[in-house]
Structure formats: structure tokens, C-alpha cells
């Protein structure tokens, strides 16, 4: 776990320093310069923070669904603990992705919120997390809470592919890869506007945020286990 | 008894108990009339366009459904008959029986909303009936399939009334966006072929939801 911890700290420090510090240049000469992307300019730096948080949100949701599924199979409350911990982190990263995205939208598209398909998707994901925790708080018995919330997470997860694969192609949108944008996953990746050094920093950031997620997951699981132990001791006294 | 006969037995049981009390049907009808009256007051004689009309149509259907579709499982818990039903029928049979009843209730509901809309809004003219009826059919199937599994969850959870729309909305929002899209096309008189994309999405939604709910229902239903 120490590797994960120091890895997350080192990689994310590097990403923050390099992502903000490396200067832009219209014709990059050395590897320590980013090219200017028309229409994005300095705002392009947000890609090192916005995309990895959004990615981690989806990862946390999949992990939460997976442990929910394992709970239903085994009825082991440890899996439910992992499922809810991952969902909590997913909510945190979801808020971060929404805020970084809204700020980026304000300066690139003119307003914080445009109901672009991807913005709609992240809004629905926020609602799913909100509903998940509302459901959990409504149930007292822990076994019942675990199984009902696991089923809800999976049912809600069934609709996620519609948002990722179908909605962006049916509705017109502003994100790269929307309807009418022939360049697939986006101009930043496909048309070579993102230089090699930007790509490397981007993947570093992706790895860094994933390690951060694993580290936070471990910390919160340990706290949750200590909490349940204290509760058990209190009920014995 | 084979599975089909047992499923229809669950369906007939719910249908009979509904016909005797007419509780859900009356409540839904009053809800539709109240909601449309509120919209008419808010409009003050203004004539909204097709986008607003199509949107409002499904807003009324969604919230009316949210007030009545959870009853199918909540009533079993309230009357204390859930355990008996668990003993006499396997979960899959109960699920499909309840789903069939909710599909019927939703179809009656959308038919009612359509009639009320045709009377209340002069601008609500269905120019392409084929798109409209397929949308109503697939939309009802999708709404009922999502509403049934959420109803099963909510019935087992403590606070029943308030939680139901909160849990349902994120799950049905894909469906609502697609049916609204298709309804606009039917009001604008576009040809049937333009709405095929929406129908493919709706059909896949219904299949994914029904299959997923069928597999997961057992974990909700069995205590």
C-alpha cells in the first residue's frame, strides 16, 4: 500500500506542477513545451484534471457495482462495505469532474451548464449516487440495506451504457465525439493536436488519480472497520 | 401448473383486487386531471408548441406513474401478504405477474393522458399516429419494467412514498428523453422512418431492464 500512497503523491505532484507550469508555444522546440491547440489555448491544461476525475468516477461506480454483485452472491457484509466505500469515493470524484467540467465549459462554451449529452450523463450519475445514499439511509437492517442497495446500483448501472454510447450520438453536443463530429473520440486525441508530451502527462495523471482512488479506498475501509469494531465493543459493554 | 398459468394467476389476482377497489385507477385518473389543470392554469390560455406539449405529456405520465405504480408491491407489504406470495410462487412468476399488471396500468394511464390532452390542448394534434402509438406502447413497457423493480426495492425499504420518484428518475431518464423525442416527431408529422432510431433505443431499454430485473428480483423479494 505504501507504493500506492507514494505513487499517488509523486505522480499527482508531477502532474500539477507540469500541467500548470509547462509553457505553451505555437511551434514547440523542446519536449518541455506544449503546442497551442486552437480554441483551447491555456484552457487545454484542464484535460489533465477533468478527464481523469471523470474516468475515476466511472471506475468507482463499476467497482461499487462489482462488490454489490459479490455481496448478492456471497452475503458477506465485507463486500457491502467495499461497495459503499467505493460509491462514496465515486460521488467525490463525480463532484470534482462536474466542477472542473463546468468551469471549463464556462470559459470555452460560454456558460457553466449547457445540457450537453456528457453533462447530462454526469448529472444523472450524480442523481444515481444521491438516490443510492438516500436509499441506504432509509433502511435500518444492515443485510437488507446491503442487498437492496446492491440491486439498485446494478439496475441503475444497466442504464449507464445508454448514456455513454447512445445519448451522445443521438443528441447534438459540444464535447468532442458528439453527433456530427466525425473524429471519433475527439480531436484532441485523434487529430494529433495533443502532442506526445501532453499524452504522456495525461496518462501519468490518469494513473495518478487511479492510485489516489485505491489509496483513499484503503484508508476509508480501515476507518470503517475500526468504526464497526468500536460499535461492537460498545454494544458488548 | 406450468409457469405461464402461474404468472397469469398472479396477474389475475392483482387485476381482481384492483377491479374490486379501483384504488389505483381512481387515484391515477384524479392525478392526471389535477396535473393537467395545473398546467392549464399556468399557461393562462397560451398555446404551447409541440416541444413543450410532448415534454409535458411525459412529465404528467412520469409523475402519475410514480404516484401509483409502487402500489403493486407496497400493498402486499401493507396487507402482510408478501410472505404468503413468497411461499406459493417462485420469484420469477411473481415478477412477471406484477410486471404484466403494471404494464396494463401504464397503458391505461397513457391512454387516459392522451384523451385528456386531446381535449385540453388544441395544439396537441397527432400528425403521425403510427409513431405516436408505437411510442406509447414501447414507452409504457419501458416505464413499467423500470417502475416494477424499483417498486419492489421501495416496498422493502422503510420510507415508501418519498423515495420512489427519487430512485426511479435516474433509471427512467433515458427512456423519458427518447419518448419525448419520438413524441415531438409524431406531433410535427414527420414520417415513420425518422423515429426508427428512437424505437431501437426503446426496445433495447425494455429488454435490458426486464432481463436485469428478472435476474435481480429474487434478491429483493426473498427476505
Give me the residues paired with residue A25 across strands: A35
Contact residues, chain B, for A156 at CB < 8 Å: 170-171
Extract the C-alpha cell encoding A76. Answer: 458477506
Picking from B163, B171, B223, the nearest residue to A159 by CB comes out as B171
Please identify which residue in the block is written with the cell numbers 405461464: B4
Average pLDDT over residues B177-206: 91
A187 vs A14, more confident: A14
C-alpha count within 13 angstroms, C-beta hemisphere, residue B153:
31
Contact residues, chain A, for B208 at CB < 8 Å: 158-159
Average pLDDT, chain B: 90
Three-class secondary structure of residue B177 per DSSP: helix
Q: What is the pLDDT of residues A157-215, one digit of tens each?
A: 888 888 777 776 666 666 665 554 444 444 455 445 567 778 888 888 889 999 999 99
Contact A131 B205 (CB under 8 A): no
Please state, in angstroms and as integers, the Cα–Cα distance from residue A160 to each residue in A128, A219, B35, B66, B87, following that order. Answer: 10, 28, 30, 21, 35
Which one, of B86, B155, B28, lies nearest residue A151 by Cα? B155
* All structural domains of chain B with their residue ranges: 3-221
The pLDDT value given to residue B130: 92
The pLDDT value given to residue A173: 64
pLDDT at B23 > cutoff 90: no
pLDDT at A97 > cutoff 60: yes
The pLDDT value given to residue A209: 92
The pLDDT value given to residue B146: 94
Contact B149 A154 (CB under 8 A): no
Q: What is the pLDDT of residues B95-135, one digit of tens each?
A: 999 999 999 999 999 999 999 999 998 888 899 999 999 99
pLDDT at A76 > cutoff 80: yes
The pLDDT value given to residue A210: 92
Whole-number CA gyration radius for chain B: 18
The pLDDT value given to residue A24: 75
How close, in Å, is residue B201 to chain A by CA atoms?
Answer: 8
Contact A124 B216 (CB under 8 A): no
ipTM of the complex: 0.90
Cα separation of B219 and B222, whole Å? 6
Query: Contact, B154 vs B70, CB < 8 A?
Result: yes
User: From chain A, which residues contact B within 8 Å (Cβ)?
Assistant: 72, 124, 127-128, 130-131, 134-135, 138-140, 144, 147-148, 150-152, 154-156, 158-159, 162-163, 166-167, 170
Q: What is the pLDDT of residues A28-48, one digit of tens each?
A: 777 677 777 766 777 778 888
Angle between helices B129-156 and B196-221 (to 10 degrees): 20
Contact A158 B174 (CB under 8 A): no
pLDDT at A95 > cutoff 90: yes
The pLDDT value given to residue A183: 42
> What does the DSSP 8-state code read for residue B123?
T
Cα separation of B127 and A145, whole Å? 48
Cα separation of A72 and B205, whole Å? 24
Average pLDDT over residues A110-130: 86
Percent of chain B surpassing pLDDT 90: 57
Mutate to test the interface with A, among B152, B163, B216, B221 (most CBs of A within 10 A): B216
Which one, of B96, B178, B109, B197, lies nearest residue B145 by Cα? B96
Q: What is the pLDDT of residues B182-192, one digit of tens each?
A: 999 999 988 98
pLDDT at A25 > cutoff 80: no
The pLDDT value given to residue A191: 47
The pLDDT value given to residue A84: 93
Q: What is the pLDDT of residues B9-19, one digit of tens each?
A: 999 999 998 88
Contact A163 B174 (CB under 8 A): yes
The pLDDT value given to residue A190: 47
Single pTM value for the model: 0.87
Confidence of residue A71 (pLDDT cuts 50, 70, 90): very high
Tell me which chain B residue has its CA closest to the CA of residue A136: B157
Q: How many CB pairs under 8 A join A and B?
A: 80
DSSP A128-190: HHHHHHHHHHH--SHHHHHHHHHHHHHHHHHHHHIIIIIHHHHS--SSTTSTT-TTTT-HHHH
The pLDDT value given to residue B207: 95
Window from A25-34, A67-76, A160-169, B21-30 with minimum mean pLDDT: A25-34
Contact residues, chain B, for A152 at CB < 8 Å: 150, 153, 167
Percent of chain B surpassing pLDDT 70: 98
Amino acid at each position: 500500500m505504501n507504493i500506492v500512497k507514494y505513487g499517488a503523491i509523486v505522480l499527482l505532484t508531477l502532474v500539477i506542477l507540469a500541467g500548470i507550469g509547462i509553457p505553451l508555444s505555437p511551434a514547440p522546440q523542446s519536449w518541455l513545451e506544449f503546442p497551442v491547440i486552437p480554441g483551447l489555448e491555456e484552457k487545454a491544461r484542464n484535460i489533465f484534471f477533468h478527464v481523469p476525475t471523470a474516468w475515476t468516477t466511472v471506475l468507482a461506480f463499476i467497482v461499487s457495482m462489482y462488490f454489490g454483485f459479490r455481496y448478492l452472491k456471497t452475503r458477506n457484509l465485507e463486500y457491502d462495505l467495499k461497495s459503499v466505500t467505493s460509491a462514496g469515493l465515486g460521488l467525490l470524484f463525480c463532484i470534482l469532474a462536474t466542477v472542473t467540467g463546468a468551469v471549463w465549459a464556462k470559459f470555452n462554451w460560454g456558460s457553466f451548464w449547457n445540457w450537453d449529452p456528457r453533462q447530462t450523463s454526469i448529472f444523472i450519475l450524480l442523481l444515481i449516487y444521491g438516490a443510492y445514499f438516500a436509499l441506504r439511509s432509509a433502511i435500518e437492517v444492515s443485510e437488507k440495506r446491503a442487498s437492496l442497495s446492491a440491486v439498485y446500483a446494478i439496475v441503475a448501472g444497466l442504464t449507464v451504457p445508454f448514456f455513454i454510447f447512445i445519448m451522445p450520438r443521438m443528441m447534438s453536443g459540444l464535447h468532442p465525439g458528439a453527433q456530427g463530429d466525425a473524429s471519433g473520440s475527439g480531436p484532441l486525441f485523434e487529430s494529433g493536436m495533443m502532442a506526445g508530451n501532453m499524452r504522456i502527462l495525461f496518462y501519468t495523471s490518469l494513473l495518478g488519480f487511479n492510485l489516489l482512488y485505491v489509496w483513499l479506498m484503503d484508508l476509508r475501509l480501515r476507518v470503517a472497520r475500526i468504526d464497526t469494531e468500536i460499535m461492537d465493543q460498545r454494544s458488548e459493554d | 401448473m406450468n409457469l405461464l398459468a402461474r404468472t397469469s394467476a398472479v396477474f389475475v389476482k392483482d387485476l381482481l383486487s384492483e377491479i374490486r377497489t379501483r384504488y389505483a385507477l381512481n387515484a391515477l385518473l384524479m392525478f392526471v386531471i389535477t396535473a393537467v389543470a395545473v398546467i392549464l392554469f399556468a399557461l393562462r390560455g397560451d398555446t404551447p408548441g409541440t416541444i413543450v406539449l410532448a415534454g409535458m405529456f411525459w412529465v404528467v405520465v412520469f409523475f402519475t406513474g410514480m404516484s401509483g405504480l409502487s402500489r403493486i408491491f407496497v400493498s402486499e407489504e401493507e396487507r402482510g401478504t408478501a410472505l404468503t406470495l413468497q411461499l406459493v410462487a417462485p420469484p420469477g412468476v411473481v415478477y412477471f405477474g406484477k410486471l404484466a399488471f403494471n404494464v396494463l396500468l401504464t397503458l391505461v394511464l397513457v391512454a387516459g393522458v392522451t384523451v385528456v390532452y386531446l381535449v385540453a390542448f388544441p395544439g396537441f394534434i397527432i400528425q403521425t399516429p403510427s409513431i405516436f402509438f408505437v411510442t406509447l406502447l414501447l414507452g409504457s413497457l419501458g416505464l413499467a419494467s423500470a417502475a416494477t423493480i424499483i417498486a419492489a426495492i421501495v416496498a422493502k425499504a422503510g420510507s415508501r412514498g418519498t423515495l420512489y420518484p427519487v430512485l426511479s428518475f435516474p433509471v427512467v431518464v433515458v427512456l423519458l428523453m427518447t419518448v419525448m423525442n419520438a413524441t415531438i416527431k409524431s406531433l410535427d408529422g414527420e414520417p415513420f422512418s425518422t423515429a426508427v432510431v428512437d424505437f431501437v433505443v426503446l426496445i433495447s431499454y425494455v429488454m435490458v431492464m426486464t432481463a436485469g430485473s428478472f435476474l435481480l428480483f429474487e434478491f429483493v423479494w426473498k427476505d
